[in-house]
Amino acid sequence: MRFDNKIAIVTGGGRNVGQAIARRFVAEGARVAVVDLDPGRGQSTVAELEKARSGSAHFLECDVSSSEAVQRMVAEVVDVFGGVDVLVNNVAITDRGSTVLDLEEDLWRRVMAITLDSVFLCSKYVGRQMVAQGRGGAIVNIGSTSGYRGRVNATAYSAAKGAVLNLSRSLASQLGPHGIRVNTVTPNKVGSPVGEDEEPADRKRANLLGRGAVPDDIANAVAFMASDEAGFVTAADLLVDGGSLYGGVD
């Protein structure tokens, strides 16, 4: 029960990795704001969590690329739960299949807005709330091995995830004096691909452990980084990629 009496926000909490993170927080005592743009997925996740423990979850429909929407979301979380102790910036979309030669500029801007701007906006307004509370907090941003290396089949996503890594380091430097830790957790090909509901049966993975990642692998890492057990860890990136990055495989 590492998160007993803690309040967490998880963006993209209606499916895949975000859903697994929300489940893990609730299992360890937290109350969780499940933030998603899809009300069907978000409400379904909250219904599951509420069945496990009444009063443990609340759904908020929010476009996290909009400053006004994020501010309303944070205000509602504070109104419902009384504050915020943990923020997980998980939501992302991709431009899979495009190169710089054919990527539509509107898609570039949309990927950057949802995958990168959302981290800035949520961290800004949740960070302000954490500072006002005066009890510190933890922010965990979900990275990607795509942020470490270029890809032949994605342009904006790789750029956005690379930026998330360095933005997180800046946030850690700025928020550290307020007792707020900021870290990243970096997966590789976990669960269903970004933006898809199902994982292809023939999805290719290559790593040092010989299996694909599952959402609980990431939830385990996020729970550690958000907990007091990682109380002296900030500005760090925890690779949860089966060694794919340093094994020289994709």
Residue 140 backbone dihedrals phi, psi, to 5 degrees: -120, 120
Task: Count the neighbouring beta carbons within 10 Å of the beta carbon of residue 113.
Answer: 18
Q: Characterize 76-93 residue by residue with b for buried, 16 or more Cβ atoms within 10 angstroms of its Cβ, and e for exposed.
A: ebbeebeebbbbbbbbbb
Instruction: Give me the count of residues in the chain.
Output: 250
Copy the structure tokens of residue 95: 């431009």
Sheet holding 31-36: strands in order across?
A: 57-61, 31-36, 7-11, 86-89, 137-142, 180-187, 237-240
Strand partners, 181: 138
Residues sharing a CB contact under 8 Å with residue 101, sequence separation 6 or more, in sequence order? none
157 is catalytic: yes
Which residues, 6+ apart, have CB-to-CB distance to 38 below 8 Å? 14, 15
Residue 6: Cβ-neighbour burial (10 angstroms; 0-12, 13-18, 19+) = buried
Residue numbers annotated as active site = 157
